[in-house]
């Protein structure tokens, strides 16, 4: 596996995935307004907030770092991101999971096999 240098850290304590598509003309301040007004979170907390567009082929990540916003942007050339549906507005992830998403994995499958309950072998 190749090293990826411009990626969210696996050590980030708070990462949130905004499930609704957004207008990708929005820059850092517009995304911070969504975080503050629609989600009720503090955009200056140091948490990372991830957004996608309607076509699901772009991701923007917003994070406050000490004295300004960091805006991470990835645009796929051919495929689409496997983005969770809009059942809940916000989904919490860890650093490994956001990197899986950026690599193209379906993070909605973040659960193991179903638990089976049997009463008898025969």
Q: Pairing mode, if any, of strands 15-18 and 48-52?
A: parallel
Query: With pLDDT > 70 as the criterion, what percentage of the chain qualifies?
Result: 90
- Kind plus residue range of the DSSP H or E element containing 28: helix 28-33
**pLDDT (0 to 100) of residue 2:** 66
pTM of the model: 0.81
Side-chain half-sphere CA neighbours of 103 within 13 A: 14
- Residue 15 DSSP SS3: strand
Cα distance between residue 7 and residue 3, in whole Å: 10
- Residue 44 DSSP SS3: coil
Q: Which letter does DSSP use for residue 33 in this model?
A: H
**pLDDT digits over 11-62, tens only?**
888 999 998 999 999 999 999 999 999 999 999 999 999 999 999 999 999 9
Cα distance between residue 33 and residue 59, in whole Å: 17
Cα distance between residue 31 and residue 39, in whole Å: 11
């Amino acid at each position: 596996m190749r090293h990826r240098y411009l990626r969210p850290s696996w050590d980030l304590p708070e990462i949130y995935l905004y499930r609704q598509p957004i207008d990708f003309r929005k820059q850092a301040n517009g995304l911070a307004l969504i975080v503050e007004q629609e989600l009720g979170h503090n955009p200056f907390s140091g948490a990372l907030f991830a957004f996608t567009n309607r076509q699901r082929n772009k991701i923007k990540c917003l994070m406050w770092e000490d004295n300004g916003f960091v805006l991470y942007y990835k645009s796929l050339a051919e495929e689409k991101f496997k983005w969770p549906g809009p059942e809940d507005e916000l989904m919490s992830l860890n650093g490994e999971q956001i990197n899986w998403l950026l690599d193209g994995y379906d993070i909605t499958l973040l659960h193991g096999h179903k638990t089976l309950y049997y009463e008898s072998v025969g």
